[in-house]
Chains A and B, each alone.
Chain A
Amino acid sequence: MTLNMGPQHPSTHGVLRVALELDGETVLRAKPIMGYLHTGMEKQAEYKTYTQSIPQTDRMDYLSPMSNNLAFCLAAEKLLGIVPPPRVQAIRVMLVELTRVSAHCVWLGTHALDIGAMTVFFYCFREREKVLSIYDHVSGQRMMSSYVRVGGLTMDIPEGLLDRCQQFVDEMPAHIDEYEKLLTKNPIWLARTVGVAPLTAAQAIGLGATGPTLRGSGVDWDLRKKQPYSGYETYDFDVPVMKDGDAYSRYKVRLMEMRQSVRIAHQAIARVREFGEKGEYRLRDFKYVLPPKEEVKTSMEALIHHFKIVAHGFFPPVGEAYAAVEAPKGELGFYFVSDGTPRPWRMKVRSPSFINLQSLPTMVEGRLVADVVTAIGSLDIVLGEIDR
């Protein structure tokens, strides 16, 4: 029997369709079919300046907008050959780690909901809402923040933001304990996840899986440690790795990652405080980065630069660059080909959800239909990023 799971199925996290070939309750073949949310972002980027494409990136993985902004800006900065000031890097790290916590909260809530644990959902979304209100505070938007810019940030962090972040990271470990109390030793949870949706290390590497999916299969690979960006080499944190490669070990990896993210965020907040609550938030390289607004009002030169960048965009050199970050879902990378004009000739998004989803058939074939729900949930996919 062939069964279409989705595209309107609540546990496919959006509009994913999985064509399942079944024998009774056993899955013989599974074929993910996607594209229902395709908006042609790569094509659109070729018609926009680099800065104009940043709001597009928010809408890819809409659960972790800051990570997407950061990946985009790092790739553009690599192409331009500029490095933002250390204070900017610390603010970016702080916000990206909060993003990871909130993205994992959404993942945990929805994953647990799929499997039947409803309470966790409300707990997780409570904490996620706190991160969203921090976004609101810092950028003016709850979800589509577009806060990171090439060479810096949109604006300086507002007053009181650091205290709010501090309060959040102080409270968060207790909340993670709460989640663990509900799930980690819960017999139903164990029955639904232990040994379900297995993926060996060799399979995961061959299928190009990254992020918690790869680390849940026992491969110690985290771009923040291995190919550090934004000063991650100066932070003190561990990379959690689990050996078993099943849904439960992916769950464990993500929960431990939340704790590590809180730890990094603690250090980043302290670092931003050291640099000062107000300070440098953009690189002073006015060929590529907008000058501060105060200067635009007083200096002729700054006004010219402002006008040029707003009117044309900046002109990167002819060349190409690929930069990747460890997003909550895995390696998120942007590949730019530039022909010297303010619009990228080609923008390629290496989206982790798209590539991780490819391991779904390996995980579910020969297993029960009910396990497909667990497998999709444990992969942590966002369809906006898969279809782009």
Chain B
Amino acid sequence: MALTQERVDERLRAAFPGASITRQEGPAVRDYTLHVPADTIVEICTFLRDDPELEFALLSFVAGVDLLPNTPRFEVVYSLLSLTNNLRFTLKVALPDENPRVPTVCGVWPTANWHERETYDFYGIEFTGHPDLTRILLPDQWVGWPLRKDSPLGYQEVAFTHNTPNRTKPAPSLTKLKPKKVKYRAQ
């Protein structure tokens, strides 16, 4: 019998009776998603990878999500793939606004290394125990976390214009999250 996501859910709850595991409900949540506690993520991932029935050997991606007005504010999404069972499964960890941190899963899947660096780079989420938690796509000296919702598009200093005044605009207040209005001028 083919493995189903309900069965994975059942196995996971049986293996971690103390942990608060909840399924994400919603009309358009298209993938089977479980919310798991942040402090047991490594144990849960190790279980999912090593269990002979489940064998989630491949970590497809790790993504950060910023749900700004909500608390807890951040989510880290882990998308797992079982090659033997041909099944996808999504785990989510909720993190607070202050000091978002979660243990790294680099020890479970080596591929998590760069995914977590990318999430750190974009959201400032700290992966504790990560071997090399540095910026990956942005320059090392970059200030701020660009994919957070309180860092709106635009307003950055344009490169190589540090010596020309009036080229940067002041950052808007945190509540102003709408897209920047662009005035088109005839040249």
Query: Quick one: which of A318, A321, A337 has the most chain B CB within 10 A?
Result: A337
**What residues of chain A lie closer than 8 Å to B58, measured between beta carbons?**
205, 208, 210
In the complex, how many residue pairs between chain A and chain B have their CB atoms under 8 Å apart? 102
A346→B64 CA distance, assembly (Å): 9
| Binary per-residue interface labels of chain B (128-170) against chain A in the complex, 1 for a CB within 8 Å, 0 otherwise | 0000000111110000001100000100000000000000000
**What residues of chain B lie closer than 8 Å to A348, measured between beta carbons?**
61, 63, 77
Q: How large is the interface on B (under 10, 10 to 19, 20 to 34, 35 or more residues)?
A: 35 or more
| Binary per-residue interface labels of chain A (217-237) against chain B in the complex, 1 for a CB within 8 Å, 0 otherwise | 001010000110000000000
**What residues of chain B lie closer than 8 Å to A354, measured between beta carbons?**
114
A318 adjacent to B136 (CB under 8 Å): no
B61 adjacent to A335 (CB under 8 Å): yes
Interface residues of A in 296-344 (CB under 8 A from B): 316-322, 324, 331, 333, 335, 337-338
Asked if A40 lies at the interface with its beta carbon under 8 angstroms from chain B, I say: yes
Q: Using A208-B59, A333-B60, A348-B63 as known contacts, say yes or no to A43 and B153 having CB atoms under 8 A apart.
A: yes
Which B residue's beta carbon lies closest to that of A388?
A: B137
**What residues of chain A lie closer than 8 Å to B113, measured between beta carbons?**
358
**What residues of chain A lie closer than 8 Å to B79, measured between beta carbons?**
322, 335, 350
**What residues of chain B lie closer than 8 Å to A207, measured between beta carbons?**
110-111
Asked if A24 lies at the interface with its beta carbon under 8 angstroms from chain B, I say: no
Asked if A275 lies at the interface with its beta carbon under 8 angstroms from chain B, I say: no
A361→B107 CA distance, assembly (Å): 17
B28 adjacent to A331 (CB under 8 Å): no
A387→B59 CA distance, assembly (Å): 20
A40 adjacent to B63 (CB under 8 Å): no
User: Which of B60, B77, B137 interacts with A38 by CB under 8 Å?
Assistant: B137
User: Which of A34, A221, A337 interacts with B137 by CB under 8 Å?
Assistant: A34
A205 adjacent to B138 (CB under 8 Å): no
Task: State the A residues within 8 Å of B (CB).
Answer: 34-35, 38, 40, 42-44, 46-47, 78-79, 81, 205-210, 219, 221, 226-227, 316-322, 324, 331, 333, 335, 337-338, 345-346, 348, 350, 354-355, 358, 387-388
Known interface pairs A318-B26, A355-B61; 6 further A-B residue pairs with C-beta atoms within 8 A, sorted by A's residue number: A205-B58, A207-B110, A316-B28, A318-B27, A319-B27, A358-B111
Can you list 10 residue pairs at the A/B interface with Cβ under 8 Å? A35-B135, A38-B138, A47-B153, A317-B28, A319-B30, A322-B31, A324-B60, A345-B67, A355-B115, A358-B110
